[in-house]
Chains A and B, each alone.
Chain A
Amino acid sequence: MIRTFFRLVGQGFMGLCINPWAQILTLSAVVLVSFLVGLFLMAITTLDYQLSVVSGETSFQVYWRTGQNQVEIDEQWEDIKHLPGFLLSRTYTPEEALKEMENRLGHTATPRNFAFLSENNPLPATALLTFSPGVREYETWLKETSQYLWNLPGVERVTVTPLRDELGQAWRTVNTYVMRPAIFFLTLLLGLVVGNTVRLAFLGKSYEIEILQMVGAFNWYIRLPLLVCGAVQGLAGSSLALVILRFIHIQIRDVLNFPPLLMEIQFLTPEMTALMLAVPTGMGILGGWVGVKRV
């Protein structure tokens, strides 16, 4: 049984050599389609990436309650610098705030001295924090960051000035109406073309299949070599296409990376790469499967 299994798998591989020209043509078709689909995917990945990194800025104004221990607040300020998307901060201890106020007001007509307040400073510690989170998962980020700031001990109030949201909106639109359908249809196209190509490649085997059915071969016996052959063609074809794509990507990665475009061409994401390998392999198997008519 096991021996038969391996013999059939072997036959699947051998099938590639028995009629090399037909197999090479099939393989070329798989490579070509995978390559074109990969190229498209690369284009939209780049577009997606560009839109997602455009850095809108979001700022938070954080007010602490008066009379908090400044040492603790200093520590909190240090921690804040490690939040995701953190860009810069301006912090004011109550003293600094007072000084700042003096400076500002000091330029008005009548100079004032607020030194009398320094004993019992009514001003809170404040921080003006600027973040550049990118638009990917912006909502979640915004929520989490606000929450974090609100929950800092001693914080009294947090106000947010969110990102100009047109960019985020544009990205979401592109992502929903272009990116995902494009991935879906390209994958579908890839699958259909590869599956059909492999299926057609097996039409020439219909006579042999008929004979095997006549001498009492079970379905799996007939199909296994075809499935292996289909899988090998799908996998080999798409791998080859990915290698070519990668090579091309290395060559052209930076051709658009100059001002004002500053656009670095992105390679496929790992998920897409997996999809590019899995779909042709799966459809090669499927093509081998449907290539066999029932008895």
Chain B
Amino acid sequence: MIEVRHLSHSFGPHWALKDCSFQLQKGEFLFLSGPSGAGKTTLLRLLFAGIPVQRGEVRVAGFALNQIKDSAVPLLRRQVSVVFQDFKILPDRSVYDNVILPLQVRGLGRVHSDRRVRAVVRALGLDSRIHLLCGELSGGEQQRVAVARAFVVNPKVLLADEPTGNLDADLSFRLMDLFKQFQAYGTTMIVATHSQELVKRHPEAKIIRLEDGKITGANWPGAMLDNGLAGAPLNGFNTGDGYASGTRSLSLSRQANIRATMRQMGPDGAVERKTTGDDKK
């Protein structure tokens, strides 16, 4: 689903990413950790064609981003939802209007989108705010609007940049639970975060540590090999034996919970999903 090989990126003389490689299969969950300025945002931007690939190879949801045409970028972005560090929501529109935007862009009428929008908004605990303007919301609420907008389309890939940055511990854990629910639904996710606590709570997730543009740690053998890392386990992180069993390790009650949410959101067919190329990556 996501394949990154020897990816480097420079802004002028400064190399923000240096020779990074890793692969993710459908439905896998990856934490991208690392200090400020490590290149997390840069990596995510490369993955949704926000900036062009300079060196190395990137494949996302069947699109080869090295040679993607401008006209294909919207198609890629229909598969890849992004939660931005600075949210990128419209402050002068209501929560509802912000969340429905990706569905409108896909040409879905209000009748079809309404149920999904409301279900996602409810899942994020924003039902009481649904008709408020986003500019009037708190930072954490705005962040959840951004998350709702990303999930409303059932993306194949979700890229989230510090999605818990403005949330208290309890809310961030709940948000991560929601992420896990979507993971179970088959969405491949990359979450960039500073929070070690959050990472520790999810032993089943894959983890990559970025420092100064280089991958300096990973908790699974493939990424370690690809980036020429020694066999030592990732310092301070779970070595994650359970990473691959992502969905299977979920408790039964949680699985029931997921099914309930999905049912509320309506059938998958309610959202146009263009399958372009191989998604068996």
Contact = CB atoms under 8 A, between A and B. Distances in A.
Contacts of B75: 216
Interface string A207-242: 110111111111101000000000000000000000
A215 B77 contact: yes
Given A211-B89, A211-B90, A215-B77, A221 B105 contact: yes
Given A210-B88, A214-B82, A215-B101, A295 B107 contact: no
B105 A208 contact: no
A104 interface: no
B47 to A, nearest CB: 13
Given A208-B90, A215-B149, A294-B70, A4 B107 contact: yes
Contact of A211 (B50, B74, B88, B107): B88
Contacts, number: 50
A3 interface: yes
A7 B101 CA distance: 13
Nearest to B77: A216
Contacts of B90: 207-208, 211
B225 interface: no
B88 A214 contact: yes
A210 B74 CA distance: 12
A269 B127 CA distance: 61
Given A211-B88, A213-B77, A216-B75, A295 B70 contact: yes
Interface string B58-73: 0000000000001101
A208 B102 CA distance: 13
A71 B105 CA distance: 83
B109 interface: yes
Nearest to A221: B105
Interface string B81-112: 11010001110000000000110111101000
A214 B105 CA distance: 11
Give the interface SS of chain A, mostly helix, strand, loop or mixed. helix
A208 B76 CA distance: 19
A255 interface: no
Given A208-B90, A210-B88, A295-B70, A215 B102 contact: yes
B52 to A, nearest CB: 10
Contacts of B77: 213-216
Contacts of B50: 214
B74 A217 contact: yes
A210 B77 CA distance: 12
B78 interface: yes
B49 interface: yes
B101 A212 contact: yes
B161 to A, nearest CB: 12
Nearest to B50: A214
Contact of B105 (A207, A215, A294): A215
Contacts of A3: 107, 109
B70 A216 contact: no
B67 to A, nearest CB: 15
A7 B109 CA distance: 10
A1 interface: yes
A208, A211, A216: most-surrounded residue (chain B CB, <10 A): A216
A236 B209 CA distance: 58
A219 B75 CA distance: 11
Interface string B250-271: 0000000000000000000000
Nearest to B75: A216
Nearest to A19: B92
Nearest to B101: A215
A223 to B, nearest CB: 12
Contacts of A213: 73-74, 77
Interface in B118-169: 149
Interface in A275-289: none
A256 to B, nearest CB: 53
Interface in A1-20: 1, 3-4, 7
Contacts of A207: 88, 90
A219 B77 CA distance: 13
A294 B107 CA distance: 21
A181 B240 CA distance: 77
A213 B74 CA distance: 7
A8 to B, nearest CB: 10
Interface in B222-247: none
A215 B107 CA distance: 12
A3 B90 CA distance: 23
A132 B49 CA distance: 72
A-B pairs, top 9 by smallest CB distance, nearest first, are A216-B77, A216-B78, A215-B102, A217-B105, A4-B107, A216-B74, A218-B74, A295-B73, A211-B88
12 contacts: A3-B109, A208-B90, A213-B77, A214-B50, A214-B82, A215-B77, A215-B102, A215-B149, A216-B78, A219-B74, A295-B49, A295-B70
Given A212-B105, A214-B50, 6 more contacts: A207-B88, A215-B77, A216-B76, A216-B106, A219-B71, A221-B105
